[in-house]
Amino acid sequence: MKATSTYLDQAEAAVMKVLKEWRPRLMEAWGTAQFDLKIDKSVVTALDKELEPAIKDALRGLSSEVGFIGEEHGREGPTDRYWLVDPIDGTEQFIRGLKACRTLLTYVEGNEALYALAYRFTTDDLYTARAGGGTYRNGVRIRRPERPLERSWIEISAKLGNPDVQKTVGKLIAKTRTWGYPHEFLDAVDGGVDAYIVIDGDGKAWDYAPRALLMKETGAALTNIGSDSYDFQDFSLIAAHPSIHDEIGKLLSGDA
């Protein structure tokens, strides 16, 4: 099976039917959900565990040739083409009642992310991207604005308690307007924030693959740190407007 536009259209419609049906439950639990701790000390709710199978069931009905890798229930089915599924990305924000939580899906074929979906159920906003086809928010294409580095706002995901990381990030901060770790990468997708950077991320492919494709298809240059290419299995990345991407890369790799 080669992913077709028709299959992805059908998949998007099937997933969104599930997510729209689930939205009242998610919103009722938003800010009040009980949670458990995983082995890695991250939080998980019953809704995380229940929503993932519901999404998989909807997609499984479209093709038996596509597998899954889900955050909560692991791998199943074919491994050469599959969906990465994160039922609630930002569960910590979800239980705190912050808006920055969403469902993430990515379709991978031939070790390449070809489609990404982010549904922020707290605001009922749908973001989608297809490789070579642009990124859309609620059906409207997003175009990346251009700002010089000294005017840029940067979102950085990194272990900032590490002195080496502090030193590396400090070089970049000194050159930019402001930076932060607001946990809402969709602000960077929208273009209000100019770059999204991950340094040795402690997430997984289901976290970073959709972020990367959504950013790239807005017109961002996308690479792994210290590289001129991008592999979604490498959890250090830079996604920024081409006019500032290379300078950011040099600052983070110590070449500037």
Q: Per-residue pLDDT tens for 4-21?
A: 889 999 999 999 999 999
Identify residue 157 by its one-letter amino acid code. Answer: S
What's the rounded Cα separation, in Å, for the pair 32 and 220? 36
DSSP-derived secondary structure letter, 151: G
Mean of all residue pLDDT scores within the chain: 94
Q: How confident is the model at residue 161 (pLDDT cuts 50, 70, 90)?
A: confident
Per residue in 114-160, pLDDT (tens digit) is 999 999 999 999 999 999 999 999 999 999 999 999 999 999 999 88
CB 131 within 8 A of CB 137: no
Compute the 3-state secondary structure of the chain and give helix, strand, coil in percent, each to the nearest 5. 35, 25, 40
52-79: pLDDT as tens digits:
999 999 999 999 999 999 999 999 999 9
- CA 147 – CA 233 distance, rounded (Å): 29
pLDDT at 22 > cutoff 80: yes
Q: Flag whether pLDDT at 256 surpasses 70.
A: no
- What domains are there in the chain, each with its CATH number? 5-141 (3.30.540.10), 149-253 (3.40.190.80)
Q: H helices within the chain, ranges in order?
A: 5-29, 46-60, 91-96, 163-173, 186-190, 205-216, 242-253
* CB distance 205 to 69 below 8 Å: yes
- Quote the pLDDT of residue 164: 86
Using the predicted structure, report yes or no on whether residue 88 has a pLDDT greater than 80.
yes
Beta-bridge partner residues of 109: 81, 112
Q: How many residues does the chain have?
A: 256
